Every structure is written in structure tokens, then in C-alpha cells.
Amino acid sequence: MKQEQDYTNGSHIWEDSELFQESAKGVIKAAEELGLSDELIDRLIQPRRALVVTLPVRMDNGDVRFFDGYRVQHSMTLGPAKGGIRYHPDSTLSETAALAMLMTYKCSLFSLPLGGAKGAVRCDSMALSDREKQALTRRYCSEIHSFIGPDRDIPAPDIGTDAQVMAWFMDTYSFEKGHAVPGVVTGKPVEIGGSLGRLEATGRGVIYTIIETAKHLDMELNQDTTIVINGFGNVGSVSASKAKKLGCKVIAVSDVKGGLYNPNGLNITDVQNYVKENTFLEGYKEADYITNDELIELETDIFIPASVSGIVTKDNADRVKAKIIAEGANGPLTRDADIILRDKNVTIIPDILANAGGVTVSYFEYVQDLQNMFWSEKDVNNKLWNTVSETVQRVFHESQRRKTDLRTAAFMVGIQRVIKAFTWRGTFP
């Protein structure tokens, strides 16, 4: 068997980011425990194809700026590729490839007939006007439209994008095709083929995985259960609301600038209303203002990192005081941090399990678009609960059977389904 680092030695242009290295190592560990060959391990890691585009956009001041855009399709063995589009100033081809790889095993883990993909535009979406963002979105869609489609690759929202961006994207793709194609993206507004329950799906899924994990740990979730959330975007905000509804006490939340802390529990509805009016948490008076570093080190029962990758590292992992970590973001723990925390007996619900509520309900939306028949929000949420519950049980069973951690077990479940599909389909030519 090759040494682990040989798979991720920077020999390909998509392997130069830490996130790709960390994600690949997780796949490698699971694959080696399954006893897979070098050839299969290489195939499990390398993306199928990638597209890089340059996007000229006329800004409001009349200048033309150029933005880099990416779309990576990691695997289409199980079905059409699926994955979000993020607008972020630090996006790279390598990071996009890593996220596409995670999507492959996330979809497989949840038994969805989909492969993995991811898209990104390197930009600061908060610095763009609505007109500039629309122009950027339509140009990006126009550049990659031959690469995607309901039977090929189905984008969705991610960091920096939302239902409005998906609406512009769908409209542009439909214009290129000459007729409405609602199934080209998910996460759309309900009025043009979106699904009820999609907006809250990722955050709701995070809480569902916590509920099921607590059952396995014989841990009660009640008014004495404390929760800390890093990131107060869609995922973090919804997770906070659902945790509060569950009866738990959310004592801290944060955004890119800093966080709020109240040991007696935050009024989440009030905080959400404040953010709607002021964009950031900064200035909120009903809690102490703390840094993100201080928030990560708070003593709590449950910690939900729901912002960006790599916020918990070997440098601060030993100061994390949570019993359960549910990865609402992709790759928020580095591999070194993961090892340190597991040695401290912290239960880590890995990203491909914890944050898969979004892609699961995206699949439900895709099915509804194809059938042109739509479900009630109650039906969507019930289906999500059943899917998440069954998947968490499957991962815990695999973890106990293989005597391994939840992350490795989750990858093992996802990998085995992909490998079976590889075997049946064979290699062409």
C-alpha cells in the first residue's frame, strides 16, 4: 500500500489546498481500513473533470472587472453531479475540488442517486450590489451552461449565494435552452420550482443528527444543555432556532467579526432580527461581545462550527471544551485537531453526516421538479428526519462494527456504495 502522503503530494493543480489534503486523508484512512487497492484509492480521490472560467463584469462605476470562476465534477458514477456554488474571496480551484469530493461521499452516505460537484466564484459577494451580483451570476452560468444540466450537474446555494442567485442562474440557463428548466438548480424560490423546507434544511439536519447522536450517547437534550455556534449565516442561524425550539440553551453565536455570549442563553429571535437590520452581530446590547477565538474555547455541551473550514486546529483543539461537535461547515476541524479531540473523548459528528440536510432536501426538490408535483413542508421535513435518522444509525453501526471513529465510519459507508457502482459500471474503454 502506498504511503498516505503519496496521494496528496501536490502533483495535480487541485491538490495544493489544505482542505483538499485534509479531505483526501479522511478518504484514504477509510479506504485503507476497507482494504482497497491503490488504484481504487486514487480513483476515489481524483476529480473527474474541472472547468475554469474568467468572468468579465461591468461594475456600477462603469469599470469592467474580471473574476475567476470554477466548477469541479468529482464523480458522476451514482448519478448527476450535485453541489453548491459559493461566492467567496478565498475560493480556489483546489478548495472547490475538495468540496466536490466531500459532496460525492455525502450523497453516497445518504443513499442519494447523485455524484459530487462544487462551484465557486472568487469574489466578495457582500461588496457587490444586486445588479453586479446578478451580472456576475448570469455570466458565470453562461460560461458553464454546457457543463451542467438536470441530467449532468445540478448546482445549489452555498456561502455567499442564496435563492435569488439560483433564480438568476435558472433564468439564464433557461434562456440558453429556449424554455424553462427548473431542475437545473435547487434552492430556488418556491414560486419557480423550489421546495418548501429547503431554506432551513441544512441547519435542521444538523440538529437532527445531534438528536440521534444524543440517543446513542444516552444524553438528554433539555434546558440545561448548552450550545455554542460559530457562524450565524443560514446554517448557524437555523441551527440556533431549532436548538432553542428543542429546549436547549444557546449561549453563544458568532459571525466573521466576532460573537455574542450570554451564559443564561441568548434570545435567538431577537438576535436574528438584529442581524436582519444591522447585517452583523456587532453592537447587540443584550449579550457580551467576544472574539471567535474566545467562543471556540467556551465550556459547552455541544459546539456547532458552521462558518468556514479550518477554524479548529492543533493550536486550539486542546482548549475546546465541548462534549459533542457537529460540523455544520465543511472541514471546520483539521485532521490534527480531529485526533486531539477524539483523544479527549469528544464525539465528532463529521461534516458529510452533520450538514447533509441541505443536499438531501435539494434532492427532494430535484425530484419534485422532475415530477412537476410538489410536497408539503411537513412531508419534506418528515422525509428529511427519516433519512437523517436512518443514516446516523447506519454510521454508528459501522463505527461500532469496525471499532473506528464516526468520521471514518461515515466515509466507509459512502465509499462502499461508490465502489460497488465502480465495479458494476467498469472502466471505459
Distance between CA atoms of 429 and 426, rounded to whole angstroms?
9
Distance CA 395, CA 413 (A): 7
Per residue, what are the HEC states of 107-155? HHHCCCCCEEEEEEEECCHHHCCHHHHHHHHHHHHHHHHHHCECCCEEE
Q: What percent of the chain has pLDDT over 90?
A: 94
17 confidence band (pLDDT: 50, 70, 90): confident
Q: What is the pLDDT of residue 13?
A: 64
Q: Report the share of the chain in percent with pLDDT over 70.
A: 97
Enumerate the β-bridge partners of residue 268: none
Q: CA-to-CA distance for 349 and 220, rounded, in angstroms?
A: 17
The residues, any chain, with a CB within 8 Å of residue 191's CB and separated by 6 or more, are none
Max alpha carbon distance in the chain (Å)?
65
pLDDT digits (tens, 9 = 90+) for 243-290: 999 999 999 999 999 999 999 999 999 999 999 999 999 999 999 999
Q: What's the whole-model pTM score?
A: 0.94
Catalytic (active-site) positions = 118
C-alpha cell at 102: 466531500
78 closest CA partner among 57, 59, 50, 106: 106
The mean pLDDT of 309-337, rounded to a whole number, is 96
Residue 362 has a pLDDT of 98
Question: pLDDT of 59-116, one tens digit each?
Answer: 999 999 999 999 999 999 999 999 999 999 999 999 999 999 999 999 999 999 999 9
Give residue-wise pLDDT tens across range 364-397: 999 999 999 999 999 999 999 999 999 999 999 9
Segments making up each domain of the chain, as ranges: 48-182, 201-354
Q: 428 or 148: whose pLDDT is higher?
A: 148
Give 48-182's CATH code, choosing from 3.40.50.10860, 1.10.4080.10, 3.40.50.300, 1.10.10.10. Answer: 3.40.50.10860
pLDDT of residue 11: 53
Q: Average pLDDT, stretch 220-231?
A: 97
From residue 314, alpha-carbon distances to 213, 334, 340, 341 in Å are 25, 7, 7, 9
Decide whether 48-182 matches 201-354 in CATH topology: yes
Superfamily of domain 201-354: NAD(P)-binding Rossmann-like Domain (3.40.50.720)
